[in-house]
Amino acid sequence: MTLEVVRTVADLRARVKAWRLEDLSVGLVPTMGGLHEGHLSLVRLALEKTDRAVVTIFVNPKQFGAGEDFDVYPRDLETDAQLLGGLGAHLLFAPSVAEVYAEDHAACVSVPGVGDILEGACRPGFFAGVATVVAKLLLQTLPDIAFFGEKDYQQLLVIRRMVKDLNIPVDIDSGPTLRCADGLALSSRNAYLSAEESAIAPVLHEVLAGIAENPSPGTAQGVDRLLKAGFSSVDYLEVRDAETLEPWTGAPRPARVLAAAWLGETRLIDNVAVKKAVSRQRSAS
Ligand code: AMP
Whole-angstrom CA distances from 112 to 157, 169, 182, 269 are 12, 21, 36, 21
Residue 216 pLDDT: 87
Q: Which atom belonging to ligand 1 lies closest to the Cα atom of 149?
A: 12
CATH code of the region 188-279: 3.30.1300.10
Determine the distance separating the centroid of ligand 1 and the alpha carbon of 22, expressed in angstroms. 30
CB atoms within 10 A of CB 217: 12
The stretches of 149-274 forming alpha helices (DSSP H) are 153-165, 195-200, 203-213, 220-229
Q: Tell me which amino acid residue 164 is.
A: K
Ligand 1 neighbourhood includes 177 CB (under 6 angstroms): yes
Q: Which atom belonging to ligand 1 lies closest to the Cα atom of 178?
A: 20
Q: Which atom belonging to ligand 1 lies closest to the Cα atom of 188?
A: 3
Q: Which atom belonging to ligand 1 lies closest to the Cα atom of 32?
A: 2
Residues 128/115, Cβ–Cβ less than 8 Å = yes
pLDDT tens, position by position, 131-179:
999 999 999 999 999 999 999 999 999 999 999 999 999 999 999 999 9
Residue 38 pLDDT: 98
Residue nearest to atom 12 of ligand 1 (CA): 149
Rounded to 5°, angle at Cα 86 from 18 and 140: 35
Ligand 1 neighbourhood includes 38 CB (under 6 angstroms): yes
Helices and strands of the chain, counted as H and E runs: 11, 9
- Those residues with Cβ within 8 angstroms of residue 187's Cβ, 6 or more apart along the chain or in another chain: 36, 38, 151, 268
Ligand 1 neighbourhood includes 152 CB (under 6 angstroms): yes
Residue 284 pLDDT: 45
Ligand 1 neighbourhood includes 55 CB (under 6 angstroms): no
- Per the residue annotation, which of 39, 90, 105, 205 is the catalytic one? 39
Q: Which of 152, 172, 184 has the most ligand 1 atoms within 8 A of CB, as the residue to mutate?
A: 152
Q: Which of 70, 87, 130, 151 has the most ligand 1 atoms within 8 A of CB, as the residue to mutate?
A: 151
Question: Could you list the mean pLDDT of each consecutive 10-residue stretch along the chain, which spans 285 residues?
Answer: 94 98 98 98 98 98 96 97 98 98 98 98 98 98 98 98 98 98 97 97 98 92 98 98 94 95 97 73 45
Q: How are the residues of the chain apportioned to helix, strand and coil, as percentages rounded to the nearest 5?
A: 45, 20, 35
**Helix or strand or coil: residue 92?**
strand
- The topology under which CATH files domain 4-175 is Rossmann fold (3.40.50)
Residue 275 pLDDT: 83
Please, what is the angle between helix 126-141 and helix 9-21, to 10°?
A: 50
Annotation says 90 is catalytic: no
Residue 285 pLDDT: 41
Residue 276 pLDDT: 67
Return the domain boundaries, the chain. Answer: 4-175, 188-279
Q: Which of 31, 37, 184, 208 has the most ligand 1 atoms within 8 A of CB, as the residue to mutate?
A: 31
Percent of the chain with pLDDT over 90: 93
Residue nearest to atom 10 of ligand 1 (CA): 148
Determine the distance separating the centroid of ligand 1 and the alpha carbon of 187, expressed in angstroms. 7
Residue 123 pLDDT: 97
> 96: burial class by Cβ within 10 Å (0-12, 13-18, 19+)?
exposed
Determine the distance separating the centroid of ligand 1 and the alpha carbon of 59, expressed in angstroms. 13
Rounded to 5°, angle at Cα 181 from 195 and 187: 65
Residue nearest to atom 5 of ligand 1 (CA): 31
| CA torsion angle 247 250 255 256 (round to 10) | 60
